[in-house]
Amino acid sequence: MRLSQMSLLLCGFSLSSIAAAATFSDVLESQQAQQDKVQIVDCRDSNFYNGWPEMGQTAGGHIPGAVNFDSRWVEMMSTDELKQIIENKSLVKDQPTFLYCAVESAAQLKKTLLNHGFQSVEIIEQPLEQYQGELVALPRYQNLVPAWWLDDVLKGETVQHAPSNDYKVLEVAWGPATKYLWAHIPGAQYVNTNDIESKPWWNRVSDQQLEILVNNLGIKYDTTVILYGRDNTAAARLANILMYVGVQDVRLLNGGWQSWEDGGYKTAMTSPDVSATTSFGKTIPANKNYIIDLPEAKALLTLPQDKQSLVSIRSLAEFNGETSGYDYIQSKGHIPGAKWGHAGSDAYHLEDFRNPDQTMRSANEITQFWHESNIEPQQQVSFFCGTGWRASEVFFDAYVMGWENISVYDGGWYQWAGK
């Protein structure tokens, strides 16, 4: 079960005698002596790594070059999965490795790494606030919110990056609200994706229909909207559309419903009363650049390869034409000129972009495999998948990473192949 933020902090003071202690100065000296061949592992909650400050701190983030490996993931993975994540994070067994997080948690991860053949693993027992350098954070980490932050908001507590005005919490999924009615985050409204996309290609509905939707949900352009899903790609789909519509402050719950459930937070069975608005407050769409259609996707591909990336967020089997990925899509293959941006094992998974607890994977790791495919932040980048869900989650990843010229190609492979 995901621990509370307070529990994570308290356990750091309980077992200081478990392992040999190191300091941040030791890490610096080792880096200089080893010519930077030193591995630093941030074994805290990925939200802290991303930039959210820990309790009592004013700044968050991680040490430059540190790899995020939350110690709690160990209990979620098989031996083979542990081997895979060590490989994915490019951790080398014969290089000096330093861990920093709560001491008890670091000791558990140290034991795991030693059991997997690591030769030198030390624990930094200093609190991160004693690190003298500048920490690195996602440029827009505040848009990817932890479950404990949302819980505090719902309780009316003072939080960092609080909603500036009114806020709405939305659960998003396809079809009737069956699971929502059984248990949902208190105060959350339910949005059926059938209300935001339609046949034949499952593209977004008209701007007029979107205006009716946001008005019925009580959303104005300056409303903070916090989204989550049992499948967070559905929530990301609406997040992208709301950004296109013009909502200024769109947040996504990191890890989706699973993070709320794992944290043991309260749930509700009753739907909230909603006061509809009569005006969104801006012309819709206010940010048309966040979604492109088939003509714009074709135009994008005419630009030089180093200036653009039409990025396929589909499984490698889909990209290579081994499967369409969907029972309702017959055509197989990929868009000529598109670049494979990774995805997951099939059309309904995004393992390449998620940690074992379903939170967002480290931006450094995402940037690395994109770089290998010539997908760069200075380019004009548009993401697509089959019909838009996976592409929307990856779009939001890129958004919190600070990428600017990004969009979702709405029609995806389905419309491209169908046309």
What was the pLDDT predicted at 240? Answer: 99
d(CA 89, CA 92): 9
What was the pLDDT predicted at 28? Answer: 74
Which letter does DSSP use for residue 232 in this model?
Answer: H
**What is the pTM assigned to this prediction?**
0.93
β partners of residue 197: 204
What was the pLDDT predicted at 22? Answer: 86
d(CA 248, CA 156): 22
d(CA 30, CA 23): 11
Q: 349: which residues sit within 8 A by CB, 6+ positions away?
A: 315, 343
What was the pLDDT predicted at 188? Answer: 99
- Any idea where the domains of the chain sit in the sequence? 5-130, 141-286, 289-418
Asked whether 8 and 102 are in contact (CB, 8 A), the reply is yes
Quick one: which H or E segment has residue 311? strand 308-312
DSSP 245-301: HT-SEEEEETTHHHHHHHTT---B-SPPP----S--SSPSPS-GGGEE-HHHHHHHT
Architecture in CATH of 289-418:
3-Layer(aba) Sandwich (3.40)
Burial class (CB in 10 A: 0-12, 13-18, 19+), 289: middle
Q: Per this entry, what is the length of the chain?
A: 419
Coil, strand or helix at 35: coil
Do 289-418 and 141-286 fall under one CATH topology? Answer: yes
Burial class (CB in 10 A: 0-12, 13-18, 19+), 28: middle
What amino acid positions are annotated as catalytic residues? 385
Q: 122: which residues sit within 8 A by CB, 6+ positions away?
A: 19, 20, 21, 22, 26, 96, 97, 98, 99
What was the pLDDT predicted at 17? Answer: 34
Coil, strand or helix at 42: strand
- Tell me which residue has tokens 């356990």: 11
Q: 384: which residues sit within 8 A by CB, 6+ positions away?
A: 297, 310, 311, 312, 313, 335, 338, 391, 408, 409, 410, 411, 412, 413
Render each residue's pLDDT in the chain as its tens digit; 419 residues. 344 454 444 344 333 333 457 888 877 777 666 656 899 999 999 999 999 999 888 889 999 999 999 999 999 999 999 999 999 999 999 999 999 999 999 999 999 999 999 999 999 999 999 998 899 999 999 999 999 999 999 999 999 999 988 999 999 999 999 999 999 999 999 999 999 999 999 999 999 999 999 999 999 999 999 999 999 999 999 999 999 999 999 999 999 999 999 999 999 999 999 999 999 999 999 999 999 999 999 999 999 999 999 999 999 999 999 999 999 999 999 999 999 999 999 999 999 999 999 999 999 999 999 999 999 999 999 999 999 999 999 999 999 999 999 999 999 999 999 97
Coil, strand or helix at 19: coil
- Tell me which residue has tokens 């609080």: 162
Burial class (CB in 10 A: 0-12, 13-18, 19+), 363: buried
Instruction: Show the tokens assigned to 238.
Output: 């609406």
Q: What CATH number labels 141-286?
A: 3.40.250.10
Q: 210: which residues sit within 8 A by CB, 6+ positions away?
A: 196, 204, 241, 245, 284, 285
What was the pLDDT predicted at 32? Answer: 66
**CATH class name, domain 5-130:** alpha beta
